[in-house]
Amino acid sequence: MKIADQKKRFFAAVLPSRPDVWEVDEIFDQLAELDEATAEEILMQVGAIWPVSHSLCFAYLTHAARALSAELFSTELLGEWVRQILGLYESKGLLGARQFMADVDKFFLGPMRGEAGVAFTDISTRMVHYLRGISGRSFNFEEAQLPSTDTRTIYLPGSLEIFPSLEHNIFLYKFLISLQWGHVESRIYSEMSAPSRVRRPFFDRYPDGELAADLFSVLQFIHVFRFLETALPGLVRRGRELCVELIGKISLGGTARQRSAAFRHLLLQGVSDKENMHGASANESQLPGKPLADALHIPVFEGLPKIYEMFSGLSGTYTLGPAALLLGEFDFARAGETIRLRREEDKAQFVAMFAGLLDQQAARKDEEDKVGNVPDSVQQSLLLIGKQRNDPEKRSNTPILLDNEGLEVPEELAALIKAIEDDLGTLPEAYVQAAAGQAGRGVNRQEVEALEEITDSFVPAHVHSYDEWDYRRAGYRAGWCSLTEKTLPAVRSGFVAQTLRKYQPQLHKLRRQFEMLRTRYRYVRRRRHGDEIDLDAHIEALCDTRAGIAPSDRLFIQLLRDERDIAAMFLVDMSNSTEGWVGVAVKEALVLLADALEVVGDRYAIYGFSGMRRSRSELFHVKHLDEPYGGEVQGRIAAISPKEYTRMGPPIRHLTKKLQATQSTVRLLVVISDGKPEDYDDYKGQYAIEDTRKALLEARGTGVYPFCITIDKSAHDYLAHMFGRGNYIFVDEVLSLPSKIAEMYRLLTS
């Protein structure tokens, strides 16, 4: 009876999909064993899970029915359980989510009871911010058994349950992250990847390579620990105890104790508080005291042979146990490769930006004096910069000026130069030369390119063609891309209603905040008409009369509504990489945003984009600027779904053109994407980044304000370059996306 009704509603909720009836029947058989209210609660969550993955949704229904009929937890916790399921699906896929659902006690209830283990995903946002704070740059995080880094990504265990208290386990994460950052700061990786170092595995030079590698880790750990002592004294003060405890776990049992004891002693020695010497351990090992202490105070590579010698005389095997977390692993080949790639990217980026700047300068010069020899002066200022930058005395403080007219280096370029200098010591002459070589070529190449292109272009009327920026030759490829505008067919579904329900509390707050934007009534003084008398103006008028001059007739205060003359266009990434939770969160964000924008009354439009290759960029219309927001638009929002690739340039250029045509005083272009632009052809890497950057610069040039919101696990270095500092935010927690986007819009326009 009731079950039939529920089933009917289930089918309605999952429209437009038509799930397999047998499968659904099977599940409803299970649900029938529960009381009606419980079954209802379970079904309530379908709306949140179905759009993410159908298989996940079926798995959820089965597991939920099982867990609730066994009364493992009550229905109040169902929402939280689902939230965690979705989180796991996002990070570990269907398999991970299934595992999580299968053992409710271990994975869900245990942590809730305040058991001590902590999963990195639970604290990752905080740690991402923390690491960015201490390092001033961004790292990625990935999971691995032991901590390590390739200088760009930090690898960490997925969860830690070493200490009996949750707080200590969280602290251990923070400590391990700080250590890995310390390794990067110590420059050990760039040193090891320098060409002067022998490329073959370094530790093979020792008879016992494994021992040498372990001893190296110990020395390097101690080295970084000491660095942290000064860099982050609070961290070390709180962490010392934990380190001692971990080191204390190195097993001394059995016959093989000589080496174990030596490792333990060495490590304890390393983390001991020099100002408080009683913390140091008694020497239970057979290591000689003084030479050991000395070996700890010289650079790692000099200390290693000495320590190795001391250890090689000792017998036995050793296991490090949890102390291995502190030491981590070192993969110099991997780090070397990452460093090489990063340097290449830096160089390419520098050359592109710098050459662009030089062209800009040359163009300026050209305007002033139509005499040629621009390249010369460019060359000169370049050499000057090269010299100046390489003089460490002058370096940090001189703002880089290209010439006397003060063409200032943009902030992103300055930051890049600084990063290169930090990495290599100086800005290599070769980089500057490469930029000079590329500068000035842009104009000519562009013309040639244009000729080449025009011949093979037959463009149908409804297709828009756009140039694309090729940074390698510093010129546009004319009419390179074709963009078609399509309307997304609306689907009927409960998506919008469900989203509004799901975000009920936030929505309340959002509406209130946006209401405040709208009702920005302001008392405007000195009006000809108004609701009240402007006393100041009146007195002034009286005074003017007395002084014998004609008084102003602007004597009133009027309550005026601030006209928000804003046109905003939202451009949503519909590439296949948004599949899953990201895509859903973006759609939810649009629903909330539309709701809030209806409250303020700003003009706004929504488009999606995707496509494949330069010949088929697609822009999907969801809502035009002055189209009313209603069922039809809602149906199109619900229909947004992952399609193909991410060629960002053409849609940005297209919407820029659209925005230019509007009458509004403020024109905002908000791009919502999930990371790197990439197409099927060679639109990737640096090329894609540079074209996107160029498209955004063009937008800015026409008076459109672009702002980018990027959703990713971590912020990458290229974001600042691509979007421009201060013109983007990155959101790593998908759950907070809807409120973040609305908040951002509010900040941007208030």
Partner 1 sequence: MNNAMECRLEEHRISVEPFFLPRANEIEIGLAASVNHLPLLLKGPTGCGKTRFMQYLAWRLNRPLITVSCHDDLSTSDLVGRYLVKKNEAFWQDGPLTLAVRAGAICYLDEIVEARKDTTVVIHPLTDDRRELPVEKIGKLYAAPPEFMLAVSYNPGYQSVLKDLKPSTRQRFVSLSFDYPPAELEKQIVMRESGIDEKNAIQMVKLAAMTRSLKESGLAEGASTRLIIQTVMLIKAGIDTVSACRSGMIESLTDDPELLAAMDEMIFSLF
Measured CA to CA, the distance from residue 293 to residue 99 in angstroms comes to 49
Using rule CB under 8 A, residue 748 touches partner 1 = yes
The CB-of-343 to partner 1 minimum distance in angstroms stands at 22
Among 370, 546, 630, 663, binds partner 1 (CB under 8 A): 546
Binding-residue pattern over the window 580 to 619 for partner 1, x denoting contact by CB under 8 A: ----------------------------------------
The CB-of-232 to partner 1 minimum distance in angstroms stands at 4
The CB-of-510 to partner 1 minimum distance in angstroms stands at 15
The CB-of-502 to partner 1 minimum distance in angstroms stands at 20
Query: Which amino acid, 517?
Result: L
Binding-residue pattern over the window 121 to 160 for partner 1, x denoting contact by CB under 8 A: ----xxxxxx-xxxxxxx----------------------
Pair 617, 484: CB distance under 8 Å: yes
User: Which residue, 63 or 740, has its beta carbon nearer to partner 1?
Assistant: 740
Among 76, 451, 549, 563, binds partner 1 (CB under 8 A): 549
User: Which residue, 373 or 665, has its beta carbon nearer to partner 1?
Assistant: 665
User: Which residue, 286 or 727, has its beta carbon nearer to partner 1?
Assistant: 727
Measured CA to CA, the distance from residue 357 to residue 368 in angstroms comes to 17
| Contact window for partner 1 (CB under 8 A) among 188-196, 572-580, 607-615, 740-748 | 740-748
Among 730, 734, 738, 742, binds partner 1 (CB under 8 A): 730
Of the candidates 444, 423, 421, 422, the residue with the CA atom closest to the CA atom of residue 432: 421
Binding-residue pattern over the window 506 to 525 for partner 1, x denoting contact by CB under 8 A: ----------------x--x
Of the candidates 405, 423, 401, 430, the residue with the CA atom closest to the CA atom of residue 414: 401
| Contact window for partner 1 (CB under 8 A) among 18-26, 64-72, 271-279, 741-749 | 741-749
- Residues 6+ positions from 512 with CB-CB distance below 8 Å: none
For the record, the structure tokens of 249 come out as 């776990």
Using rule CB under 8 A, residue 535 touches partner 1 = no
Binding-residue pattern over the window 475 to 504 for partner 1, x denoting contact by CB under 8 A: ------------------------------
User: Which residue, 95 or 747, has its beta carbon nearer to partner 1?
Assistant: 747
| Contact window for partner 1 (CB under 8 A) among 120-128, 209-217, 333-341, 598-606 | 120-128
Q: Which residues, 280 to 299, sit near partner 1 by CB under 8 A? A: none
The DSSP element (H or E) to which 738 belongs, if any, is: helix 737-748
Among 314, 619, 719, 741, binds partner 1 (CB under 8 A): 719
- Residues 6+ positions from 542 with CB-CB distance below 8 Å: 551
The CB-of-356 to partner 1 minimum distance in angstroms stands at 19
Give the sheet arrangement for strand 148-149, strand by strand: 140-143, 153-156, 148-149
Q: Determine the size of the site formed for partner 1 (CB under 8 A).
A: 59
Query: Which amino acid, 523?
Result: Y
Q: Which residues, 226 to 255, sit near partner 1 by CB under 8 A? A: 232-235, 238
* Chain-centre distance for alpha carbon 453: 37
Of the candidates 57, 66, 12, the residue with the CA atom closest to the CA atom of residue 39: 66
Pair 463, 422: CB distance under 8 Å: no
User: Which residue, 312 or 749, has its beta carbon nearer to partner 1?
Assistant: 749
User: Which residue, 138 or 312, has its beta carbon nearer to partner 1?
Assistant: 138
The CB-of-548 to partner 1 minimum distance in angstroms stands at 8
The CB-of-14 to partner 1 minimum distance in angstroms stands at 34
User: Which residue, 187 or 522, has its beta carbon nearer to partner 1?
Assistant: 522
Task: Report residue 488: phi and psi, to 5°.
Answer: -75, 125
User: Which residue, 42 or 170, has its beta carbon nearer to partner 1?
Assistant: 170
Pair 355, 442: CB distance under 8 Å: yes
Query: Which amino acid, 311?
Result: F
User: Which residue, 313 or 703, has its beta carbon nearer to partner 1?
Assistant: 703
User: Which residue, 325 or 568, has its beta carbon nearer to partner 1?
Assistant: 568
Whether a cis peptide bond, with omega within 30° of 0, leads into 489 is no
The CB-of-41 to partner 1 minimum distance in angstroms stands at 28
Pair 266, 308: CB distance under 8 Å: no
What does R_g of the chain's alpha carbons equal in angstroms?
32
Measured CA to CA, the distance from residue 435 to residue 429 in angstroms comes to 10
The CB-of-233 to partner 1 minimum distance in angstroms stands at 7
Q: What is the 3-state secondary structure (H, E, C) of 519-562?
A: CCEEEEEEECCCCEECHHHHHHHHHHHHCCCCCCCCCEEEEEEC
Q: Which residues, 165 to 184, sit near partner 1 by CB under 8 A? A: 174, 178
Pair 572, 586: CB distance under 8 Å: yes
| Contact window for partner 1 (CB under 8 A) among 146-154, 242-250, 687-695, 739-747 | 739-747
User: Which residue, 599 or 668, has its beta carbon nearer to partner 1?
Assistant: 668
Q: Which residues, 392 to 451, sit near partner 1 by CB under 8 A? A: 396-399, 406, 408
The CB-of-645 to partner 1 minimum distance in angstroms stands at 25
Of the candidates 227, 202, 218, the residue with the CA atom closest to the CA atom of residue 287: 218
Own/partner long-range contacts of 501-505 (Cβ < 8 Å, ≥24 apart)? 502/47, 502/48, 502/588, 503/588, 503/592, 503/738, 503/739
Among 544, 553, 626, 681, binds partner 1 (CB under 8 A): 544
The DSSP element (H or E) to which 730 belongs, if any, is: strand 728-731
Of the candidates 591, 739, 706, 574, the residue with the CA atom closest to the CA atom of residue 641: 574
The CB-of-707 to partner 1 minimum distance in angstroms stands at 8
The CB-of-509 to partner 1 minimum distance in angstroms stands at 12
The CB-of-267 to partner 1 minimum distance in angstroms stands at 22
User: Which residue, 450 or 729, has its beta carbon nearer to partner 1?
Assistant: 729
Pair 540, 567: CB distance under 8 Å: no
Among 164, 547, 628, 663, binds partner 1 (CB under 8 A): 547
For the record, the structure tokens of 677 come out as 């632009």
Using rule CB under 8 A, residue 715 touches partner 1 = yes
| Contact window for partner 1 (CB under 8 A) among 190-198, 329-337, 391-399, 685-693 | 391-399
DSSP codes of every residue in 616-678: -EEEEEEE-TTPPPSHHHHHHHHH----S-B--HHHHHHHHHHHHTS--SEEEEEEEE-S--B
The CB-of-81 to partner 1 minimum distance in angstroms stands at 22
Q: Which residues, 631 to 650, sit near partner 1 by CB under 8 A? A: none
Q: Which residues, 654 to 713, sit near partner 1 by CB under 8 A? A: 666, 668, 705
Bridge partners of 619, per DSSP, are 485, 609
Of the candidates 668, 598, 664, the residue with the CA atom closest to the CA atom of residue 627: 598
User: Which residue, 125 or 577, has its beta carbon nearer to partner 1?
Assistant: 125
Pair 496, 637: CB distance under 8 Å: yes
Residues of the shown chain interacting with partner 1 in the complex, contacts defined by CB under 8 A: 125-130, 132-138, 174, 178, 232-235, 238, 396-399, 406, 408, 522, 525-526, 539-540, 542-549, 666, 668, 705, 715, 719-720, 725-726, 728-731, 733, 736, 740, 744, 747-750
